[in-house]
Amino acid sequence: MRSIFTMSSMENFRYYLIVFAFFIPLFLLAEQLPEDPDVLHKVEDTSGLTPDEIRQVAKKLDKNEKLTVKKVHWEELSPTPITDDWIQTKSGEWFKGKIKAMYNEKLEFDSDEIGDYTFDFEDIQQIKSHQILSVNIENFALVSGILRLKDDKVTIIQGDVQYTFKRDEIISFAPDAKNERNFWSGKVTFSFDMRKGNSDQIDYSGELNLKRRTAKSLLNIDYLGRISSKESTEIANDHRLSLKYDRYITRYFFWTPISAEYYTDRYKNIANQLTAGGGIGYTIYDEKEIFWSVSAGPAIVYTDYDTVKADQEKQNYSPAFEMSTKLEYELSKITDLKFDYKVTLSDSKVGNYKHHMIMKFENELLSWLDLDLTGVWDYVASPQEDNQGSIPKKSDFQFLVGIGIDF
């Protein structure tokens, strides 16, 4: 057994740097991949007007719309977006803040009053944006402009033209901003357990989810790590860092030019394992309370074992095939169920069959704070024995209770 304070921590840090150096160029390359001209075009604003001048055009259109109504009840009046975006729910309530993104029929909104909050898109009655948004219209184009939504009608206002669509033609939208920060959101979760008495044991784990969303793509970066020590001796130390980059072609169909994962767990005899691949995916179900998608594609797996017998290879490569599914289910107004399951089929030298499963219950305490209950099940059909002839167990289970912070 190794002390928790060893050079292995420095080695892990070095490998994380290597992995990020591997991930980022792939992501930047995918960002530069040309769009299929028959699938998605970008409608540019050629008027030459500044964003503020376009907002003035939108303001005049709003005013003209009000003048066409002969008699208006006070509850039908709507605010003018001067510095913020405004959204109205079906209950008639107006909220002021910043639109972060609409993706998978979920509208993320940041307000000083309610914090970061996710609305079901079907519950939104009106949208009056102050930001210029990039809107992905199904089977048409990516259109940038000031967004106006009322009931089933969507208007995107550019300098000298306006585009009108039906609500159900919208795949997604996000701020069309030069500030990179506007595309990102995330969540970090910490859990910690310390026991003193007959035995001294410390367990702590961390989860991180980063998302970069535009009107046509979604980048997910996830980290899950655990370190445990008993009587000042390390008994567990495993880390998993994954990346998945999806580009939506239609409302339901997407392709994944890049997916990659780095995993290390010396107590399962895996010093370093890197999986990289791609594929295609489809959204099976996308309604108010349920989202379910599947994806699959080829990959390659590289594994560097911690120790092996003299007649075995320490490093192995293998072609592989990956299948994954993601399910999100809104159990109540404050509780969400999230389920991720990924299967990798490969050569027996790198595990033969393995899966990684996460089931999480997110319980909202505040708009930015959750109590998360997470179950993790990792399985390897053919674990590699070490140089002492010891074979790691096939299954590894974790149950985590932690505090999650949205940002």
User: What's the pLDDT at 213?
Assistant: 82
Mean pLDDT across the chain, nearest whole number? 83
Q: What CA–CA distance (Å, rounded) separates 135 from 248?
A: 12
User: What's the pLDDT at 26?
Assistant: 53
* 345, amino acid identity: L
| Three-state DSSP class for residue 222 | strand
- Model pTM score: 0.70
Q: Using the predicted structure, report yes or no on whether residue 378 has a pLDDT greater than 80.
A: yes
Residue 405, CB-side half-sphere exposure with 13 Å CA sphere: 5
Do the beta carbons of residue 146 and residue 49 sit within 8 Å? no
Q: Using the predicted structure, report yes or no on whether residue 248 has a pLDDT greater than 50.
A: yes
Q: Using the predicted structure, report yes or no on whether residue 297 has a pLDDT greater than 70.
A: yes
Sign of CA dihedral 186, 205, 227, 245: negative
Q: Are strands 353-366 and 369-380 parallel, antiparallel or unpaired?
A: antiparallel
User: What's the pLDDT at 9?
Assistant: 46
Q: What CA–CA distance (Å, rounded) separates 38 from 56?
A: 34
Of 267, 264, 193, the closest CA to residue 236 belongs to 267
Cα dist from 190 to 61, 120, 187, 396, whole Å: 48, 27, 10, 20
Under the banding of pLDDT at 50, 70 and 90, the label for residue 17 is: low
Under the banding of pLDDT at 50, 70 and 90, the label for residue 389 is: confident
Under the banding of pLDDT at 50, 70 and 90, the label for residue 25 is: low
Q: What CA–CA distance (Å, rounded) separates 31 from 245?
A: 10
Q: What CA–CA distance (Å, rounded) separates 48 from 126?
A: 28
How does pLDDT run across 67-122, given as a tens digit for each residue?
554 454 544 556 878 889 999 999 889 999 999 888 878 898 988 877 788 888 98
Average pLDDT on 243-261 reads 89
pLDDT over 90, % of the chain: 46
Domain boundaries, the chain: 41-177, 183-406
Q: What CA–CA distance (Å, rounded) separates 263 from 396?
A: 14
Q: Using the predicted structure, report yes or no on whether residue 338 has a pLDDT greater than 70.
A: yes
More confident residue, 16 or 105: 105
Least confident segment among 17-26, 128-137, 153-162, 357-366: 17-26
How does pLDDT run across 141-193, given as a tens digit for each residue?
788 899 999 989 999 998 778 899 999 889 888 887 666 777 788 999 998 87
Under the banding of pLDDT at 50, 70 and 90, the label for residue 1 is: very low
Cα dist from 368 to 98, 177, 196, 334, 345, whole Å: 15, 24, 32, 12, 38
Q: What CA–CA distance (Å, rounded) separates 39 from 310?
A: 54
CATH of 183-406, one of 2.40.160.40, 3.10.150.10, 1.10.10.10, 2.40.30.270: 2.40.160.40
Of 46, 43, 37, 62, the closest CA to residue 144 belongs to 43
Say which residue the tokens 């793509």 belong to: 217
